[in-house]
Structure 1
Amino acid sequence: MQKISPFLWFDNQVEEAIIFYVSIFKNAKVKKVARYGDAGPGPKGTVMSAWFELAGVEFTALNGGPKFKFNEAVSFVVRCEDQNELDELWERLSEGGEKGQRGWLKDKFGISWQIVPVVLAPMLTDLDAQKSQRVMQALLEMDKIDIAGLQRAYEGERAA
């Protein structure tokens, strides 16, 4: 068991959300589901909370009602190995949500995600300041991240 894990407070969409996330991520599974009983406070049989795993990270989700909403102050970074993985996650997670800039998106439940390639951090932290600045400039012009575009910027080539 992870010592620290994300806890997500939904209004009443936990069941829909975990089905959605588990369908998108490889190595994902629903671990446990607790349902309301006669004591409530939710309708008997509906999901109260659930524990699920995405790419080795355990999450807890609660149907807590409309008191709290998700916002961009907290997001999940997904590091992708290649453009195909990045494209798939970008499209699937943004279904019913909204696509942002520089790899950010908001899913249909309001959770913010950053879909980034694993090569981004090493490029942005390269000791050659010109390389890292070119990569940052290219990134600032992207919505969904284009790994080949970052690579061209890193190498000092003009955009295709």
Structure 2
Amino acid sequence: MTNQIYPCLWFDGQAKAAADFYCSVFKNSKVTTDTPMVVNFELNGKKFMGLNGGPMFKFNEAVSMVVECETQEEIDNYWNKLTADGGQESQCGWLKDKFGFSWQIIPNIIGKLMTDTEKAPRVMQEIMKMKKIDIAKLVNA
């Protein structure tokens, strides 16, 4: 396939540890190449590159991965795994994993809830109160 596009994540010597961690979190995932400088891996069949680039650059919230979930159990699972061992909860379904990378763990019905003009303001008000998203509270808003 030509012109394939995929993200390259810059790590300070932790690319292999990060790839192994992410592959343990997501099904259908594997490390495909492991060299001292670059680790290629797939998460849910999507290609990623981890680069051992050094301490010059750090992750920030300007880039995040969005994980759409169908159930509260899925949200809880990803939230718990990605915040484990030093990860940090943030607001509105956002978190940082132990490597400092940002994730949004959201229900796939959020778009539908936000397009209901009567319900959307109440849904948004609920989201603003949350760290981890609670689907039932959004549906009942």
User: For the superposition of Structure 1 and Structure 2, which TM-score range results when normalised by the shorter chain?
Assistant: over 0.9
Q: Give CA deviations for 1:62-90 in whole Å, capped at 9, x if unaligned.
A: 10111111001111100011111110100
Unpaired segments ≥5 residues, structure 2: none
Matched, 1:151 2:136: no
| Letter aligned with residue 29 of structure 2 | A
Matches within 5 A, 1:7-156: 7-34=8-35, 47-95=36-84, 96-126=86-116, 129-153=117-141
| Letter aligned with residue 105 of structure 1 | L
The alignment partner of 1:102 has SS state of coil
2:16 touches 2:50 (CA, 8 Å); kept in 1? no
Structure 1 Cα separation of the partners of residues 17 and 33 of structure 2: 15
Structure 1 Cα separation of the partners of residues 90 and 14 of structure 2: 23
RMSD: 1.1
Please, what TM-score do these two structures have when normalized by structure 1? 0.83
Q: Give CA deviations for 1:102-124 in whole Å, capped at 9, x if unaligned.
A: 10000111100000010111111
Q: Percent identity?
A: 55
Please, what TM-score do these two structures have when normalized by structure 2? 0.94
| Letter aligned with residue 31 of structure 1 | T
Unpaired segments ≥5 residues, structure 1: 35-46, 154-160
| Letter aligned with residue 63 of structure 1 | N
Q: How many aligned residue pairs are there?
A: 139
Once the two structures are TM-superposed, the CA of residue 56 in structure 1 deviates from its matched residue by: 2.3
Matched, 1:3 2:4: yes
| Letter aligned with residue 151 of structure 1 | V
